[in-house]
Amino acid sequence: MTVKCATVSGKNKKHHVKIYTLSTCGWCKKTKELLKALDVEYEYIDVDKLTGNDINDAYEEVKKYNEFRTFPTIVIDNGKHVIFGFKDKEIKEKLR
Amino acid sequence: MKTKKAIIDSLGGNAKENGYYLCPDAQLFNDLIDGLAANNTRYGYGSCPCRVASGVKKYDVDIICPCEYRDADVDEFGMCYCGMFVNEKIKKNPSQLGPIPERRPPEIMDAALAAVDTKQSISIKSSVQAKLKKNTPSIVVWRCSVCGYLCARELPPPICPICKAKAERFEEFVLS
């Protein structure tokens, strides 16, 4: 089952962007701030804030895209492109 | 509850003792400290803010800050996984802070989550197997030629945590 995620609205909706993050992680925070600065609309799941089965479900989702299961995992257009970690140049380039 | 100041003091002391520096990016440093404080509050221990924890201490011990992977990561990349600890080079060039590969075998987290999920304890065998997959094939024992301090890691520490002798004063320790 797909875990519910929050949406942050933005003017740039060229790509579907979904990020898997941890609420405590400084790099995840940088990623959210960058997307905000680029005015990109995105969905996010703070995996550490989930409870019960949702944690495992979200973790399995991350695993599908990222064998290392690391955060942030940035999924663009449903997996057409996946970025592991706060690679700001790559994020900017892919979401231009 | 551990205050932020107590966390900063303790990590700062640990960094100094081991020849490392704390995160040179002030914003990131603050966020990491907030993350550690949050983990302290919800789990009762300061697990790495940039890794997902199971919430059960015995499965998370390897990622309690300073984590088991720090020394090898600072040796190889100049920073630990989250960036809390860095070497001198990155302290001087904070722009070099960036994502590094995860050294912790994902199997540990898989096993921990499975155990939490089914409320079953991981057998010692499976957690040991997960640990064996860690990327530490043959660890060298280093001896401080000044004070005799021994440590097992890939490279000698930047300074001896006991007598502060530099890395160059360490030699491989071989039992003959």
**pLDDT per residue over A32-76, tens digit each?**
999 999 999 999 999 999 988 898 899 999 999 999 999 999 999
Closest among B127, B131, B128, B163 to B144, alpha carbons compared: B163
Please enumerate in sequence order all residues whose Cβ is within 8 A of that of B83, keeping only pairs 6 or more positions apart, or say none: A26, A27, B23, B25, B28, B32, B97
B42 and B76 inside one domain: yes
Residue B143's Cβ-side half-sphere holds a number of Cα atoms within 13 Å equal to 7
Neighbouring C-beta atoms of residue B29, cutoff 10 Å: 18
Q: How confident is the model at residue A3 (pLDDT cuts 50, 70, 90)?
A: confident
How close B67 gets to chain A, by Cα (Å)? 15
In angstroms, rounded to a whole number, what is the distance separating the alpha carbons of residues A41 and A16? Answer: 8
Residue of chain B nearest A29, judged by CA positions: B31
Taking the Cβ of residue B28 and every Cβ of chain A, the question of whether any pair is shorter than 8 Å is answered with yes
B41 and B119 inside one domain: yes
Q: Which two tokens stand for residue B50?
A: 């940039």
Closest among A37, A28, A38 to A74, alpha carbons compared: A28
Burial class of residue B26 in the structure, from the number of CB atoms within 10 Å of its CB (0-12 exposed, 13-18 middle, 19+ buried): exposed
Specify the amino acid at residue B130: A
For the cut 90, the answer to whether the pLDDT of residue B127 exceeds it is no
Closest among A76, A18, A13 to A47, alpha carbons compared: A18
Write out chain A residues lying below 8 Å of B101, CB-based: 68
B59 and B26 inside one domain: yes
The domain in which residue B152 lies consists of 141-172
How close A85 gets to chain B, by Cα (Å)? 6
Q: What pLDDT is recorded for position B138? A: 74
Q: Which two tokens stand for residue B160?
A: 């001896």
Closest among B68, B141, B133 to A68, alpha carbons compared: B133
Residues B89, B20 contacting (CB under 8 angstroms): no
B36 and B74 inside one domain: yes
Q: ipTM of the assembly?
A: 0.92
Check which CATH number belongs to the domain holding B125 and give it: 3.90.460.10
Q: Identify the structural domains of chain A with CATH numbers, from first to last.
A: 6-95 (3.40.30.10)
- Residue pairs between chains A and B whose CB atoms are closer than 8 Å: 67
CB contact (8 A) between residue A29 and residue B50: no
B128 and B44 inside one domain: yes
Taking the Cβ of residue B34 and every Cβ of chain A, the question of whether any pair is shorter than 8 Å is answered with yes
Q: What pLDDT is recorded for position B150? A: 96
Count up the domains in chain B and report the number.
2
Three-class DSSP category at B172: strand
B39 and B82 inside one domain: yes
For the cut 60, the answer to whether the pLDDT of residue B130 exceeds it is no
B148 and B124 inside one domain: no
B149 and B123 inside one domain: no
* Average pLDDT score over residue span A18-24: 97
CB contact (8 A) between residue B117 and residue A56: yes
Taking the Cβ of residue B133 and every Cβ of chain A, the question of whether any pair is shorter than 8 Å is answered with no
Mark out chain A residues that contact chain B at CB-CB < 8 A. Answer: 22-30, 47-48, 53, 55-56, 59, 67-71, 84-87
Taking the Cβ of residue B101 and every Cβ of chain A, the question of whether any pair is shorter than 8 Å is answered with yes
B159 and B75 inside one domain: no
B121 and B158 inside one domain: no
For the cut 50, the answer to whether the pLDDT of residue A87 exceeds it is yes
- Interface mutation vs chain A, best among B52, B85, B96, B116, most A CBs within 10 Å: B52
B17 and B102 inside one domain: yes
Selected residue with higher pLDDT from B78 and B131: B78
B164 and B89 inside one domain: no
**pLDDT per residue over B88-109, tens digit each?**
999 999 999 999 999 998 888 8
User: What letter does residue B168 receive in the DSSP assignment?
Assistant: G
Neighbouring C-beta atoms of residue B31, cutoff 10 Å: 23
